[in-house]
Amino acid sequence: MRKLTLITFTLLFIASTSFAQLIKEGNRACSAGSHNSMSIELRKTESKDVEKAFAKYIDKYKGKTKLDKKAGEIFSDNAIIKAIGNNDMDIYARVADKGENSILTVWFDLGGAFLSSERHPAEYKVAEKIIMEFAINVSKGFLEDQLKDEEKTLKKLEGDQKKLLKDKEGYEKDIEKAKQLIADRENDIRQNIDDQKNKQVEVETQKTVVEKLAAKIKSLD
């Protein structure tokens, strides 16, 4: 339950944070040259995973999408984002590692101009939402994977706990058996002592019999 709450809180935090605080606009180089772009840092992610995820995500805009692993770039040719316009556009994206995080950078070529907040303020807001939606999906996916791992750990710990409880019950049974065995052996010892006393009397009596017989035999010599 705590993990689910964490997921909900994280997603709400991302959604409620200003897009401008998370997405950095700037002039950066892609295979089409140096143009205005949008970048966002994705926590606890690896570039190769983000590349595959973004290629799949951007493919919904009906462009011809391909992931060029050699060039380290995702390219979607003739994509159409209705909220931005009816004309097709080319979308470029690159992902770079940054420690435990990764940086996703996206370029939107509107045809003659690359998307920018200054020249296309309304369209830029739409692009921000698109990138943020992807970022939320990635964060959610990461947290869900983390949740599965934590649930596996919890299941193992619960299994360990059950085993410890079972072991305790076994030890307690062993103790009860041991107590009974001790009680039985204490009774056996008391009985043994009585038996030894009785046997000693028998031994002494038998010694007397033996000695008398030996004496008779000797007297015949």
What pLDDT, on the 0 to 100 scale, is given for residue 193?
95
Chain centroid, CA 30 distance in Å: 36
- Tokens 């979607």 map to which residue? 76
**Amino acid letter, residue 65:** T
b vs e for 75-99, b when ≥16 Cβ sit within 10 Å of the residue's Cβ? bbeebebeebeeebbbbbbbbeeee
Q: What is the pLDDT of residues 51-67, one digit of tens each?
A: 999 999 999 999 999 99
Q: How far apart are CA 156 and CA 166, in angstroms?
A: 15
Confidence of residue 3 (pLDDT cuts 50, 70, 90): very low
- Tokens 């143009």 map to which residue? 35
As separate numbers, helices (DSSP H) first and strands (DSSP E) second, the chain gives 4, 6
**Rg, Å, the chain Cα set:** 42
Confidence check: pLDDT of 172 > 60: yes
Confidence check: pLDDT of 20 > 70: no
- Tokens 């040259």 map to which residue? 33
Q: What percent of the chain has pLDDT over 70?
A: 90
CATH of domain 2-151: 3.30.310
Q: Helix or strand or coil: residue 81?
A: coil
Q: What is the pLDDT of residues 119-130, one digit of tens each?
A: 999 999 999 999
Q: Using a cut of 0.75, tell me whether the model's pTM lies above it.
A: no
Q: How far apart are CA 97 and CA 89, in angstroms?
A: 27
Tokens of 152: 């596996």
Domain ranges of the chain: 2-151
Residue 31's nearest CA partner among 88, 81, 70 is 70
Confidence of residue 214 (pLDDT cuts 50, 70, 90): confident
Mean pLDDT, all residues of the chain: 88
What pLDDT, on the 0 to 100 scale, is given for residue 138?
87
Q: How far apart are CA 186 and CA 166, in angstroms?
A: 30
Q: How far apart are CA 131 and CA 128, in angstroms?
A: 5
